[in-house]
Amino acid sequence: MTTVLAIETSCDETAVAVIKNCEILSNVVASQMAAHSQFGGIVPEFASRQHLETIDAAIAQALTDAGSDWNQIDGIAATCAPGLVGALMVGTTAAKTLAMLHQKPFLGIHHLEGHIYACYLSQPQLQPPFLCLLVSGGHTSLIHVRAPGDYHSLGRTRDDAAGEAFDKVARLLQLGYPGGPAIDKAAKTGNPDAFAFPEGKVSRPEGGYHRYDCSFSGLKTAVLRLVQQLEATGEPLPVADLAASFQKTVAQALTSRAIACATDYQLDTIVVGGGVAANSALREHLQAAASERQIRVIFPPLKFCTDNAAMIGCAAASHLAQGRTSPLDLGVRSRMPLAEVMHLYQPPTTNQPVSDAFAKSGESP
């Protein structure tokens, strides 16, 4: 059994969890959302300062809730990429300081790998290979998870991330921030067939459309144009119908690409991760399309779709159990491809050549 204290501060949640393998001993999430909503989005400097003010109390709370003391913690982890650099610095600096103080290994965790591991919190028996549809505020991609730590991107958005599209359209409809939950709520009383929006297909130079890539900027512009036309009539905006129609278009676009990809690669499981995995229309559309084709779909429990430290701890416990740790001089990065995740770790024995260590664990750097 591997017990990890994990910290997540990549954006606007100060989150700390204590995780034993994939079992949650405690899960503290101090959200800054209300504070940022007054600005209509995330203000990076403000986020860093809020993390600084909250992190000590969140760590103490996570330990108390878990009934753990430092002797029971095997490693200390923090998200180190991708995300807001200042915000990431707060979490990683706290984790490194605690690691030095309590003489524990430190692990830097890739935020998107954390979102993949969110599914293990409810399905610890899950085994790769599977397809992961990763849909958050900053990322939208289809990832072939070939083995733990072995990730290959098969499709992606060419412009806005799905969550970003939700946030931008919510702003247009004056539904506030964050946009995803607000659109989901407004859509409940709306007609998803009220308006037809373009799905945003990506052309291929050799002709036809890309089967896995998507684009949301055209959709966002189509909603803007329609809102401008409707406003010109002087009638109240049909916000619920607009929200439901937009949401259905995004859900259909993501569903058709995920199903095509899983089918082409003969993957019988689709795991969904990231904040947009909480979306009710995506859940319905993907579940229905997948069950027609005998594909299993796994969504994380709702509260683990958006950012949390439990998913970071689950990924960290898996790496630590394989003997992987990160150097204390590991930096933070605003961007980092998921395929580079193994670069965050040093081999189990420091004087062993890196390639040998990876060969031993059956993975490639």
Q: Which residues bind ligand KG4 (CB under 6 A)?
A: 11, 136-138, 163, 166-167, 178-181, 184, 274-276, 278-279, 306-307
Question: Contact 135/257 with Cβ under 8 angstroms?
Answer: no
Q: Residues touching Zn ion: how many (CB under 5 A)?
A: 2
Which residue stretch of 13-21, 135-143, 161-169, 338-346 sits at the interface with Zn ion (rule: CB under 5 A)?
135-143
CB of 282 to ligand KG4, least distance (A): 7
By CB under 5 A, name the one of 48, 136, 140, 157 that touches Zn ion.
136
Contact of residue 180 among ligand KG4, Zn ion, none (CB under 5-8 Å per partner type): ligand KG4
Residue 222 burial (C-beta neighbours within 10 Å; 0-12, 13-18, 19+): middle
CB of 149 to ligand KG4, least distance (A): 20
Select 73 or 309, whichever has its Cβ closest to ligand KG4.
309
Three-class SS state of 4: strand
Neighbour count for residue 193 (Cβ, 10 Å): 10
Please report how close the Cβ of residue 220 comes to ligand KG4 at its closest, in angstroms: 13
* DSSP secondary structure code for residue 213 in this structure: -
Residue 140, interface with Zn ion (CB under 5 A)? no
When the beta carbons of 199 and 307 are compared against Zn ion, the nearer one is 307
In which element (H, E) is residue 130 found? strand 130-135
Nearer to Zn ion, 12 or 213 (CB): 12
Closest CA to 32 of 61, 60, 10, 17: 10
- What's the alpha-carbon Rg for the chain, to the nearest Å? 21
From the list Zn ion, ligand KG4, none, which binds 178 (C-beta under 5 to 8 Å, kind-based)?
ligand KG4
Structure tokens at 15: 């989150």
- What token pair was written down for 187? 């859509």
Residues that bind Zn ion (CB under 5 A): 136, 307
